[in-house]
Structure 1
Amino acid sequence: MPPTHPFQEPPLGRRAVAARETGHGVTLAEPYRSFVAEVANGSSLGPAEDGQSFWLLVTTGPHRGEVWMVADVGVTPVPTTGAAWGFAEWVEQWRAGQRRWS
C-alpha cells in the first residue's frame, strides 16, 4: 500500500514487524504494532513542540503502551493528570487538534 501522505512511510506489514520484533527482542504494544504494520511506518508529522521536548511511546516495563513527554525539565506521562494515554488516545487528541496536553 503506498503512503497516503508525502511525509508518511509505507506500512511494514505484519511479517516484517514480527521479524523486527524478534531481531530486537521486543514486542510492540497494540495498537501501535498494527499501526506500523497496516497504516504507516513512521511519519514526520505530529504535534509540534518547542524543540526542547518530544513524544515517547514506552515499549517495555510497567508503563508499556503509554505516551510520555520528554522535555529539558523532565519526563511525564501525557496527560499529566489522570491515566496516561495509550497510542490510540494520543492519535485521537492529535487529530482533534488538541493543543493542551495536561
Structure 2
Amino acid sequence: MNNEYAHPDDLAELRTAFSVDDAGESALGWAGVYAFEAEHGIVLPEPYRTFVAEITDGSFSGPPDYGLVGVAEMPDDWGDDRPVRNLSAPFPLTEGWLWEDDPRPYEEIERLLDPVFNDGSVVLGTDGCGMYWHLIVTGRHRGHIWNISGEGAVPFGAEFGHTTASPGFAGWVRHWAAGKPWFDAF
C-alpha cells in the first residue's frame, strides 16, 4: 500500500468499478482537492486523493451499501449532535477495539470514543445500523480503511485477520467489486 503514489493499475480498477456513475462529472478536480486539504490541514492518501480529484466524489453504486459519500460529506444517518470532526488530529487506534466488551467504566470508554469517530479520518459511507467505513488520513494507520460501529472498530485488510482483502482504499473497492463479504476470513 503506497499512500503517496497512485498506481495506474489501481486507478484503472477504480475507474472500472465506478464506471456506472457520472463519467467523472462529480470529481472535485485538483483545485477542489487542494482546497479541502488546506481547509483541514491534511493530505489525502493515494489512490483516494486521485480518485476524488479525477474519477468521482461520491457514488450511489457503492461501496458501501448506501453508497460512497463525497469527501466533504457525511452519511445521512450520521446525526447532527456529534462533536466537531478534526481530520488533522491523529486517528487514535492502531488495533481493533470492541468497546462493548471493554471492562472499563462506561464513562471512561465514552470519553475515548469521540476521537475514534471524529479524529483523523474521512467517512466513506455507511452499511446502515451505525456501521461506518472510515479512510484514515492522519496517524499511524494513514491510508487504511476501518469499520467503526456502535460496538467497536476494526481495521480492514488481510494483515488484520478479518478479511482476505488487500489493505487501503483500492483493496477495499476491489474486494467490494468482486462481490465478497466484507469480513470473509472467518
Query: Would you say same fold, with TM above 0.5?
Result: yes
TM-score by length of 1: 0.82
Identity of aligned residues (%): 39
Query: Match of 2:149, as an amino acid?
Result: A
Shift of 1:40: 0.5
| Contact persistence 1:57–1:66 (CA under 8 A) | yes
1:2-45 residue CA offsets vs partner (Å, 9 max, x unmatched): x9526x87101112211211121110000000000010011242
- Among residues 155, 176, 182, which one is paired with 1:77 in the alignment? 155
- State the partner residue of 2:47: 31
Q: 1:46 aligns with which of 55, 63, 77?
A: 63
Between 70-79 and 60-69, report the one with greater CA deviation: 70-79
Deviations 1:37-72 (A, max 9, x none): 010011242132352312111111000000011122
Give the conservation status (yes or no) of the 8 Å contact 2:135–2:143: yes
**Structure 2 regions of 5+ residues with no counterpart?**
1-18, 66-126
Which residue pairs with 1:16 in the alignment? 32
Extract structure 1 runs of 4+ deviating beyond 6 A: none
Q: Which runs of 5+ in 1 are unaligned?
A: none
Count of residue correspondences: 99
Structure 1 range deviating more: 9-18 or 54-63:
9-18
Matches within 5 A, 1:79-98: 79=157, 80-81=160-161, 85-98=167-180
Q: Is the 8 A contact 1:77 1:84 kept in 2?
A: no
CA distance in 1, matches of 2:182, 2:153: 16
TM-score w.r.t. length of structure 2: 0.47
Which protein has the larger Cα radius of gyration, Structure 1 or Structure 2?
2
